[in-house]
Amino acid sequence: MKLYIDRTRLRERILHDPDLDVEAGFPIRDVETLNMFLPRDLFVGDLAPAAEMTITFGTLIELARRQRKLTIEQLSEKARVDASELIAIEKKRSGYVPKPRTIHQLAAFLHLPEKGLMKLSGAVVSRDEKLRNAALRFAAKSAGLDKLTRSEEELLHEIVKCLSDDEATR
Amino acid sequence: MKSLISVVDILDRLTKQFVEAKLYSGIDEANLADFEARWLPLLAEKLQRATPEELAQAQAQDARWNWRRKEAAWGHALSYQAFAVEADTVTQGLMYVSKHHHSRLPDHLGAPVIYVEAIATAPWNRPRFVPQPKYKGVGQVLIQAAISLSIEEEYKGRIGLHALPQSDSWYRDALGMIDFGADPDAHDMHYFELTGEQATKLIS
């Protein structure tokens, strides 16, 4: 392949071109989701808040699953995600960040707000203090319960509402 | 397979002198490594420090364009082609195009166009990303490559693309491409198309 513009003509064009941006291609509408595509070792900020949120994410998925009376295997089949990934999520394995597709599939099947789940999962480093506080309250209150009690149902409702409010304000 | 297309000149904004750059067809590990080791840290740093308003200005959207994934998906597909511009032995710009799109112009409806899937210059070359951008002309070189490929494929120089909002003016006003307006199928990005006649003007 050859370049059809003459080298001198190209120089003239560049010299007289306005100083404008040229980036094109499919967009990112919500810039907050950008972080999930960056390798985590490139983050220069504090990842501790994101790590705290992942505890809530695991608890939320577990409660939402139990609310529907599903085993991990059944949820895996219905949401079309790997059971091993669901186990890692619910066990809140340290530093584990689920794949974007998994978050998308879980959000769709469990009818949970996808953007909020992105933040909770740790895939997105969020600066949202309100959500972070709600997530911590949720994780603290719901830890250690084996059965989905009425109070757990309320907790589940509260965190989902918080995620929904967060999404509605965007 | 990466191969040299041409040696071109891009403008060093600081010295106001042209410097030699190389335009390649195809990208290799060195280009991907540049993106990951040189581009991404700047994009990541900007993201961490920016307010949401600044983010909107920061043009960091292409952090999401994982070029390694694109190369894995498209690198060996015949209908896709990658291009790279290098200067100072560093990747200054990257572009992916595909050959299976068609014109939206009523007069050329159905005629094939080279579609620019993604085009980006290194963060340090972007006027709105850094206060003192380094090189000017990387985008022009890449667009000329897309036009040249279109001519070689007998598409008469026709190209099409969806521009990021901050780049609309470049494609509409500087290159004279036809603005089809917001495309609801592409997150309301504006779709632009260059006709064969316009392409001829741009290369002559």
pLDDT digits (tens, 9 = 90+) for B154-168: 999 999 999 887 788
Q: How distant is the alpha carbon of residue A20 from its chain centre? A: 33
pLDDT of residue B73: 63
Q: Which domains does chain A have, with CATH numbers?
A: 48-168 (1.10.260.40)
* Residue A31 to residue B142, Cβ atoms within 8 A: no
Query: What dihedral angle (degrees, nearest 10) is formed by the CA atoms of A114, A117, A123, A127?
Result: 110
Candidate ranges A47-51, A99-103, B13-17; pick with highest mean pLDDT? B13-17
- Under an 8 A CB cutoff, do B162 and A13 touch? no
pLDDT at A130 over 70: no
Among A98-112, B24-38, B107-121, B129-143, the minimum mean pLDDT is found in: A98-112
Mean pLDDT of the B68-94 span: 81
Please give the residue that has the higher pLDDT: either A22 or A120: A22
Element holding A161 (H helix, E strand): helix A150-168
Q: Which two tokens stand for residue B129?
A: 């990303």
pLDDT of amino acid B197 = 95
CA distance A35 to A43: 8
Q: Which residue of B has its CA nearest to A29?
A: B187
pTM for this prediction: 0.61
Could you give the C-alpha distances from B4 to A129, B7, B28, B122, in angstroms and in order? Answer: 51, 8, 12, 19
Find, in chain A, the residue whose alpha carbon is nearest to that of B153. Answer: A1
Give the per-residue pLDDT at A28: 29
Contact present, B163 and B180 (Cβ < 8 Å):
no
Task: Write down the number of H helices and E strands in chain A.
Answer: 8, 1
pLDDT tier, B5 (very low <50, low <70, confident <90, very high otherwise): very high
CB contact under 8 A, A25 and B116: yes
Contacts of B127 in chain A (CB under 8 A): 19-21
Give percent above pLDDT 90 in chain A.
15
All domains in chain B, ordered by first residue? 3-203 (3.40.630.30)
Q: Select from B56, B152, B167 the Cβ nearest to the Cβ of A21.
A: B167
More confidently predicted of A114 and A148: A114
**pLDDT (average), residues B16-44:** 87
Question: Does B116 contact A7 at a Cβ distance shorter than 8 Å?
Answer: no
Interface test with B, best of A21, A40, A99 (most B CBs within 10 A): A21
Look at residue A42 and tell me whether its pLDDT is greater than 90. Answer: no
Could you read off the pLDDT of B135-155 as tens digits, one per residue?
999 999 999 999 999 999 999
Number of residues in chain A = 170
Residues A142 and A63 sit within 8 Å (Cβ to Cβ):
yes
The type of residue at A143 is: A
Chain B residue whose CA is closest to A43: B44
β-strands B112-121, B135-136: how paired?
unpaired
Q: Does residue A41 have a pLDDT over 50? A: no
- Mean pLDDT of the region B9-28: 95
The pLDDT of residue B57 is above 50: no
The band of B3, judged by pLDDT with boundaries at 50, 70 and 90, is very high
Asked if A24 and B190 count as a contact pair (C-beta separation under 8 A), the reply is: no
Q: Is the dihedral of CA B141, B143, B146, B152 positive or negative?
A: negative
- Facing B162 at nearest CB: one of A24, A28, A39: A24
A7-21, A84-98, A132-146, range with the lowest pLDDT = A132-146
Output the pLDDT for position B170: 93
pLDDT at A167: 55
From the list A13, A22, A31, the residue facing B121 with the nearest CB is A22
CA-based nearest distance B25→chain A, Å: 8
What's the rounded mean pLDDT across residues B106-128?
Answer: 89
Q: Which range, of A57-66, A149-158, B29-38, B155-164, averages the lowest pLDDT?
A: A149-158
* Residue among A96, A169, A3, A54 at smallest CA distance from B22: A3
Q: What does the pLDDT read at residue A26? A: 63
| Degrees, nearest 5: CA angle A91-A95-A101 | 80
